[in-house]
Chains A and B, each alone.
Chain A
Amino acid sequence: QVQLQESGPGLVKPSQTLSLTCTVSGGSISSGNYYFSWVRQPAGKGLEWIGRIYTSGTPNYSPSLRSRVSMSVDTSKNQFSLKLSSVTAADTAVYYCGLGLGYWGQGILVTVSS
């Protein structure tokens, strides 16, 4: 049973970089050509796709966030990561990591505040 778990700071100061990691258990992410996604959801609002990265390391980012986003994969640790720079209060949201379409973490609330 594949499971995903987000981890990282729950509070980030404005203008700093948000860094999150997703740990995958129940299978090796290097065993196939998968893609790993990040999606966020501000309180009371809809889902926003942030981007994805393939096992190979090839990323695709949302055009609206491309200038501030980077993603990486560490197959040795069965993890993938998200960095979002120059954050503002508008980046406050629950952040979900995903594997393909059907596997999602429980989400982590990240608040941007001084």
Chain B
Amino acid sequence: DIQMTQSPSTLSASVGDRVTITCRASQSISSYLAWYQQKPGKAPKLLISKASSLESGVPSRFSGSGSGTEFTLTISSLQPDDFATYYCQQYYSYSTFGPGTKVDIK
């Protein structure tokens, strides 16, 4: 099984901050990595696929990078709508989600 970790588990930030979340895989997953945003009571929303490909309609302040075992999601300037939990997901071999990173208000 491929295990996914995320850091930090919680991140306190202010509007306008640059935020970076790290996701690591237990073995190489090439670029088969997706990032999701989830708000309470809602389904996850796909932000990025293939590690760095921004989904249509997702604001350009979101970006993804990385390959192999280490990946990052960056929000260049945090907006009020961005306070949520973020998950990474590998889909290289079956699929696994990371444990999530909650971004809350500082």
Listed in ascending order, the chain A residues whose CB lies under 8 Å from chain B are 37, 39, 46-49, 51-52, 60-63, 96, 101-102, 104-107
**Smallest CB-CB A-B distances: 9 pairs:** A104-B43, A102-B46, A47-B97, A49-B95, A46-B100, A46-B99, A60-B94, A101-B34, A101-B46
Contact, CB under 8 Å: A37 / B97: no
Once bound together, how far apart are the Cα atoms of A87 and B27, in whole Å? 31
Once bound together, how far apart are the Cα atoms of A49 and B98, in whole Å? 10
Interface residues of B in 40-87 (CB under 8 A from A): 42-46, 49, 55, 87
Listed in ascending order, the chain B residues whose CB lies under 8 Å from chain A are 1, 34, 36, 38, 42-46, 49, 55, 87, 89, 91, 94-100
Give the A-B contact count at a CB cut-off of 8 A.
46
Contact, CB under 8 Å: A96 / B87: no
Task: Give the chain A neighbours of B43 by CB distance below 8 A.
Answer: 96, 104-107
Given known contacts A101-B34, A102-B46, A104-B43, is B87 in contact with A47 (CB within 8 Å)?
yes
Given known contacts A49-B94, A49-B95, is B100 in contact with A96 (CB within 8 Å)?
no
Once bound together, how far apart are the Cα atoms of A106 and B45, in whole Å? 11
Contact, CB under 8 Å: B1 / A47: no
Q: Which listed residue (A49, A51, A105) contacts B89, Cβ 8 A?
A: A49
Q: Which listed residue (B44, B94, B96) contacts A96, Cβ 8 A?
A: B44
Contact, CB under 8 Å: A52 / B95: yes
Chain A nearest CB from B88 CB (Å) reads 10
Q: Which listed residue (B38, B55, B97, B100) contacts A49, Cβ 8 A?
A: B97
Contact, CB under 8 Å: B44 / A47: yes
A-B contact pairs, 19 of them (CB 8 A): A37-B95, A46-B87, A47-B38, A49-B89, A49-B96, A49-B97, A51-B94, A52-B94, A52-B95, A60-B94, A61-B94, A96-B44, A101-B34, A101-B46, A101-B89, A104-B43, A104-B44, A104-B45, A106-B42
